């Protein structure tokens, strides 16, 4: 997968950067710099092309995911992280996802499908990736969820369902709501920075 790796402090988690629809492997680098400037970064571009826009998995229409492709791409991304850990020498068991929108959804899918895929996650503007699956034990996987109360693409109840799913799998979840929409707001980035500092530094 097309990606950028940036070395960081070995004792910190490696940040897995996952962009939104239409983004690329450079999109979230400034965000990582704001939240955890000393952490190593593995920033990955989605392999799926939707009308010229990069995504991590296919969808049938807005808000309706191709579940077969979601599972395939989730496993593909997990394998890529494992290969990258060997190539770049970072700790595979110390990876925290930082995802926005489509990137947050594939990060959530990793949590839903692959035990120990992530040590934690910062999910900005995420939704339930799939229903009807049993989640692994996420008691050691801390998650920060940032969301907008007026998000036109993701109803509040959708994000709240995601949070409940994670909590039911025993994940310690921190949620932060802004008055905004689908855009990423500075206050949620600041809160994510505080959360990361408390959890990992």
One of 19, 109, 151, 171 is an active-site residue; which one?
151
CB atoms within 10 A of CB 110: 24
What is the reported pTM?
Answer: 0.96
pLDDT in tens, 24-46: 999 999 999 999 999 999 999 99
- Classify burial at 150, counting beta carbons within 10 Å of its beta carbon; exposed 0-12, middle 13-18, buried 19 or more: exposed
Range of the domain at 91: 3-200
pLDDT beneath 70: ranges in the chain: none
Per DSSP, the three-state class of 155 is coil
Catalytic residue among 101, 109, 142, 171: 101
What is d(CA 130, CA 64) in angstroms, rounded to the nearest whole number? 10
109 is an active site residue:
no
Q: What is the CATH number of the domain that holds 80?
A: 3.40.50.1820
**Catalytic annotation on 151?**
yes
Domain count for the chain: 1
């Amino acid at each position: 997968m097309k990606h950028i790796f940036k070395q960081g402090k070995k004792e910190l988690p490696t940040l897995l950067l996952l962009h939104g629809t239409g983004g690329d492997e450079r999109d979230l680098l400034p965000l990582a710099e704001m939240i955890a400037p000393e952490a190593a970064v593995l920033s990955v571009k989605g392999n799926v092309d939707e009308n010229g826009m990069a995504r991590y998995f296919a969808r049938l229409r807005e808000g309706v995911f191709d579940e077969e492709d979601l599972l395939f791409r989730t496993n593909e991304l997990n394998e890529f992280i494992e290969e990258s850990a060997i190539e770049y020498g970072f700790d595979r068991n110390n990876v925290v996802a930082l995802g926005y929108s489509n990137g947050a959804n594939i990060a959530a899918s990793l949590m839903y499908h692959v035990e120990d895929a992530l040590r934690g996650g910062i999910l900005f503007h995420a939704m339930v990736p799939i229903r009807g699956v049993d989640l692994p034990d996420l008691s050691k996987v801390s998650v920060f969820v940032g969301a907008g109360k007026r998000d036109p693409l993701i109803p509040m109840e959708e994000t709240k369902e995601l949070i409940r799913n994670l909590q039911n799998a025993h994940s310690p979840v921190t949620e932060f709501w802004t008055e905004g929409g689908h855009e990423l707001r500075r206050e949620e980035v600041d809160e994510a920075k505080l959360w990361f500092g408390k959890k990992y530094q």
